[in-house]
């Protein structure tokens, strides 16, 4: 939804310009092109929002416990986890609303689980170590992280 106010301003400017030019063919074509781009942008944004709400199947309560047990808070600030105030990795607040994970993976539950299981596979040499998480642990941690708004 970040793009909609900007899109509305662009559309408004185009409409004003089209009116000034007495709705010439070129102005009308420009208006329609910008409208189509804004609609496409809104559709893509809607699909991104849908991916954030895909069911994960894990247990967020167990995920919170596993985050504490594994020690994720030593490197990350994680809302709702006592003592999770690390500054090495990025803060994980609003992680469910981000478009990408680690700047390279589309933010989906499946990609988050894959990242948690083997971050070095996706970004070799990054600071996040392989924590040897099981699929169940990564599913539960992902379930918790998707509750963080």
Give per-residue pLDDT as tens, 110-147: 999 999 999 999 999 999 999 999 999 999 999 999 99
Q: What is the pLDDT of residue 61?
A: 96
Mean pLDDT value of segment 17-44? 60
Residue 7 burial (CB count, 10 A):
18
HSE, side-chain direction, 13 A CA sphere, residue 105: 20
106 phi and psi, to 5 degrees?
Answer: -60, 135
For residue 47, pLDDT beyond 70: no
Mean pLDDT value of segment 91-113? 93
- Residue 21's pLDDT band, with cuts at 50, 70 and 90, is low
Q: Which residue has the higher pLDDT, 30 or 42?
A: 30
Structure tokens at 62: 């167990």
Q: What is the pLDDT of residue 48?
A: 43
Q: What is the pLDDT of residue 149?
A: 78
d(CA 114, CA 109): 9
User: Which residues on adjacent β-strands are paired with residue 105?
Assistant: 101
- How do beta strands 105-106 and 100-101 pair? antiparallel
The pTM for the full model equals 0.65
Contact 38, 7 (CB under 8 A): yes
d(CA 48, CA 67): 26
């Amino acid at each position: 939804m970040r793009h909609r106010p900007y899109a509305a301003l662009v559309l408004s400017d185009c409409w004003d310009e089209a009116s000034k030019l007495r709705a010439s063919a070129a102005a009308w074509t420009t208006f329609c092109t910008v409208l189509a781009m804004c609609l496409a942008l809104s559709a893509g944004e809607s699909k991104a929002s849908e991916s954030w709400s895909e069911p994960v199947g894990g247990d967020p309560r167990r995920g919170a416990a596993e985050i504490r047990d594994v020690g994720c808070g030593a490197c990350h600030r994680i809302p709702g986890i006592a003592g999770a105030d690390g500054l090495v990795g990025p803060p994980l607040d609003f992680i469910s609303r981000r478009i990408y994970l680690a700047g390279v993976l589309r933010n989906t539950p499946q990609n988050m689980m894959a990242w948690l299981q083997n971050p070095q596979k996706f970004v070799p040499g990054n600071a996040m170590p392989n924590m040897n998480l099981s699929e169940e642990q990564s599913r539960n941690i992902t379930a918790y992280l998707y509750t963080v708004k």
